[in-house]
């Protein structure tokens, strides 16, 4: 099934690049040797992302790193060049001969402008992905201990440390968090991208983050790609002085922090019994649940969870995928929402997966303040 999926994806990429090839050839009147070069480039680009991704999961060297970065960047840009190509052909076939005074040359100028716009949007996305924002929110929790009323927690999701963003990115994040002076840091999955990487080196900067309550982590889907990845990534996380909540809970100054690993939290049959086993039958403290994917919130609400913190969606990361993630996750795609008595916050994440771009969804570190909610 895995190889069939890869084949389907590759066929789609071939078709997409053929459309781009025909569009570029038509707009820019490519002929002769230049046309042959265009064909070769189109074929190479069509296989670049899938091939680079497969190599990046098994090898780590300068060649694979550079190849993966180029392929991932092109993959993101391709989306906007495809939109530009589609718009060009719509203009060409629908309006080219019907607009008074229009001719083929003027329609091709429109095509050129559309391609310039696609390039500009791509560049914006690359820049925007590196401008980390701090989003400050306040959450009301019933029966919150007095000791938590002035506390702050930093929420981090989807850092995706790997062959695009490595130790320097972790250092940047660490610096921002230390400037915020939170009482705890919650890492809600996908600290790693899942590709071949020196895990200890990548998360090393996080060991400098000192908090009064501690730093906590739950596994995301990218940490669970391979059979041995949980052990490898888990070891690196522990060395960075971050406590792993692997289907476990801990009481911090009168608040219960619960963590459920992503493979269990997304398993409808397993999730409920696992959560019930972790928290027991009696609620003694307010509950904060850390889980990577914002699904099955009804189970959290049933188990009297006050606050659920997740990531995974990236807020769509790049348009138009934010439309798709909104359809799948609805109001839990991004930001604060309510599900019965449970408050949910889904972060758009701070890193990127695939294209190192963000368009329509900014990278964020969330700083959470707490207030008591009367019964």
Tokens 């039958």 label which residue? 281
- Rounded Cα distance, 157 and 4, in Å: 31
For residue 308, give the nearest of 276, 284, 286, 330 by alpha carbon.
286
Bridge-based pairing of strands 133-142 and 335-339 is unpaired
Tokens 């609400």 label which residue? 301
Same structural domain for residues 145 and 118?
A: no
Per-residue confidence (pLDDT) for residue 291, from 0 to 100 = 98
pLDDT category of residue 93 using cuts at 50, 70 and 90:
confident
96 pLDDT higher than 80: no
Same structural domain for residues 8 and 123?
A: yes
Distances, alpha carbon 61 to alpha carbons 5, 68, 81, 160, in Å: 27, 11, 30, 18
Out of 102, 128, 154, a domain closes at 128
- CATH number for position 306: 3.60.21.10
101 pLDDT higher than 60: no
Q: Which residues pair with 161 in a beta bridge?
A: 192
Same structural domain for residues 170 and 88?
A: no
Same structural domain for residues 186 and 289?
A: yes
Same structural domain for residues 114 and 247?
A: no
Q: Give the count of domains, the chain.
A: 2
Q: Record the pTM.
A: 0.92
- Rounded Cα distance, 159 and 30, in Å: 42
374 pLDDT higher than 70: no
State phi, psi for 141 to the nearest 5 degrees.
Answer: -125, 130
Domain housing 37? 2-128
Per-residue confidence (pLDDT) for residue 94, from 0 to 100 = 77
Two structure tokens written together for 288: 């904060």
CB-based contact 223:150 (threshold 8 Å): no
Q: What is the pLDDT of residues 272-281, one digit of tens each?
A: 999 999 998 8
Same structural domain for residues 9 and 48?
A: yes
pLDDT category of residue 57 using cuts at 50, 70 and 90:
confident
Same structural domain for residues 52 and 161?
A: no
Out of 96, 128, 160, a domain closes at 128
Same structural domain for residues 95 and 200?
A: no
Q: What is the pLDDT of residues 164-184, one digit of tens each?
A: 999 999 999 999 999 999 999
What's the chain's Rg over C-alpha atoms?
23
Mean pLDDT of the chain, nearest integer: 93
Same structural domain for residues 114 and 143?
A: no
For residue 295, give the nearest of 350, 221, 357, 208 by alpha carbon.
221
Per-residue confidence (pLDDT) for residue 5, from 0 to 100 = 86
CB-based contact 205:176 (threshold 8 Å): no
Of 95-99, 112-116, 188-192, 362-366, least confident by mean pLDDT is 95-99
Q: What is the pLDDT of residues 278-328, one digit of tens each?
A: 998 889 999 999 999 999 999 999 999 999 999 999 999 999 999 999 999
Out of 128, 161, 192, a domain closes at 128
Average pLDDT over residues 235-246: 96
For residue 217, give the nearest of 300, 302, 291 by alpha carbon.
291
Same structural domain for residues 164 and 228?
A: yes
- Rounded Cα distance, 136 and 120, in Å: 30
Question: What 8-state DSSP symbol labels residue 58?
Answer: T
Cβ contacts of residue 319 below 8 Å, gap of 6+? 359, 360
Same structural domain for residues 177 and 111?
A: no
Higher pLDDT: 103 or 177? It is: 177
Same structural domain for residues 203 and 89?
A: no
């Amino acid at each position: 099934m895995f190889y069939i999926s890869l084949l389907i994806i590759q066929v789609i990429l071939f078709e997409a690049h053929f459309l781009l090839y025909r569009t570029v050839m038509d707009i820019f009147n490519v002929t002769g040797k230049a046309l042959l070069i265009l064909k070769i480039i189109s074929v190479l680009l069509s296989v670049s992302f899938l091939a680079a991704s497969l190599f990046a999961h098994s090898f780590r060297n300068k060649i694979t790193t550079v190849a993966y970065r180029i392929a991932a960047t092109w993959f993101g840009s391709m989306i906007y060049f495809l939109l530009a190509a589609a718009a060009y052909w719509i203009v060409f076939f629908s309006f080219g001969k019907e607009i008074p005074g229009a001719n083929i040359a003027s329609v091709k100028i429109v095509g050129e402008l559309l391609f310039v716009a696609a390039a500009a949007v791509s560049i914006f996305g690359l820049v925007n992905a590196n401008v980390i924002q701090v989003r400050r929110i306040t959450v009301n929790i019933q029966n919150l201990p007095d000791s938590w009323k002035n506390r702050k927690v930093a929420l981090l999701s989807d850092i995706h440390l790997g062959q695009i963003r490595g130790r320097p990115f972790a250092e940047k994040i660490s610096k921002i968090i230390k400037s915020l002076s939170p009482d705890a840091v919650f890492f809600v999955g996908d600290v790693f991208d899942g590709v071949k990487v020196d895990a200890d080196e990548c998360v090393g900067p996080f060991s400098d983050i000192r908090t009064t309550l501690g730093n906590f982590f739950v596994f995301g889907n990218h940490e669970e790609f391979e059979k041995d990845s949980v052990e490898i990534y888990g070891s690196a996380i522990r060395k960075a002085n971050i406590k792993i909540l692997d289907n476990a809970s801990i009481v911090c100054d009168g608040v219960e922090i619960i963590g459920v690993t992503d493979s269990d939290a997304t398993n409808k049959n397993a999730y409920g019994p696992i959560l019930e086993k972790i928290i027991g039958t009696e609620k003694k403290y307010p509950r904060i649940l850390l889980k990577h994917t914002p699904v099955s919130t009804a189970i959290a609400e049933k188990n009297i969870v006050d606050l659920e913190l997740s990531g995974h969606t990236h807020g769509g990361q790049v348009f138009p995928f934010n439309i798709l993630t909104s359809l799948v996750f609805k109001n839990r795609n991004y930001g604060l929402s309510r599900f019965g008595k449970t408050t949910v916050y889904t972060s758009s994440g701070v890193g990127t997966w695939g294209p190192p771009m963000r368009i329509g969804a900014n990278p964020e570190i969330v700083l959470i303040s707490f207030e008591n909610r009367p019964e």
